[in-house]
Every structure is written in structure tokens, then in C-alpha cells.
Structure 1
Amino acid sequence: MKEYFKGQANQRSFSIYSIDIAKGREFDHVILYDISKEKFHTAQDKRILYTMLSRGMESIFVTYKKELSDFFQI
């Protein structure tokens, strides 16, 4: 991940926000941690995931364990 973001920011820092704090804000890069099928499967989860995905302006990096949420299936 370090190589992916190399040279893309002037500062070498990051912030961690809960979704309720991040709502309404925009970020150059967003990392979504553990967007797994077992954790994101309800209608409420889908709305939360949409909000999370819409925060990133340049890139979104998604991690998951075992299986990615079905909301990413095409």
C-alpha cells in the first residue's frame, strides 16, 4: 500500500474516522477495512457502504477477509 500512495501526498500522515464523522466530508484517498460478506449484508449496511465509497475523490482501497461483500458483485 505504501508504494501505491507514494508521491501522492505532501504529508506523511493519515486520519481514522468513523462513518458518522466522515459523512459529508471528502478525502483524496479512502481505505475501507474488512468489507466482508459476513459484515456487510443488510440494507442498512448497503447504505453505509455507499456513504463510505462516496468519500474518496481519487482512490478507494478495499480490504476484506474470506469473501468480499455481495454488494460488490456485478
Structure 2
Amino acid sequence: QIYDTSCKGVYDRGLFSDLEHVCDDCYNLYRNSYVASACRSNCYSNVVFRQCMEELLLMDEFDKYARAVQIV
């Protein structure tokens, strides 16, 4: 995994790993390269990331991921 230069916060490998897993799992669900790149755009702060969380049934953990996005 490569550090995303659009992220201006603290580099935390664990947080990036959690965020990456959402995008990877979403890509595996749809097999669409747009989903993979859009999910990561703007350092994960975008509507596609949120939609991926909904599709992957992760909304009960939304606050955890929202904090991670703010940190990175």
C-alpha cells in the first residue's frame, strides 16, 4: 500500500489499513476501477467511501472510520 499524498494528517499504518480495507472490499464487490479510485479520493473523504461503508454493512462503525479519515 502506498501513502496517499492527498492525506495531510498523521501517517498511521493501522488507520490507513482500515480505510484501505473498505475500498478494497468495495472494489471486490463491484469489480469496477472507478470505485477503487473514487473511494480513495480526497483522502477517503468522499461520498463513494460512505456508500461503500453502507454496501459493506459497516455503518455501525461509521464514527470510527470518520475519526480515522480526519486523522489521516
Higher strand share: 1
Larger radius of gyration: 1
Q: Work out whether the TM-score is over 0.5.
A: no
Return the TM-score normalized by structure 1: 0.28
Structure with the bigger percentage of helix: 2
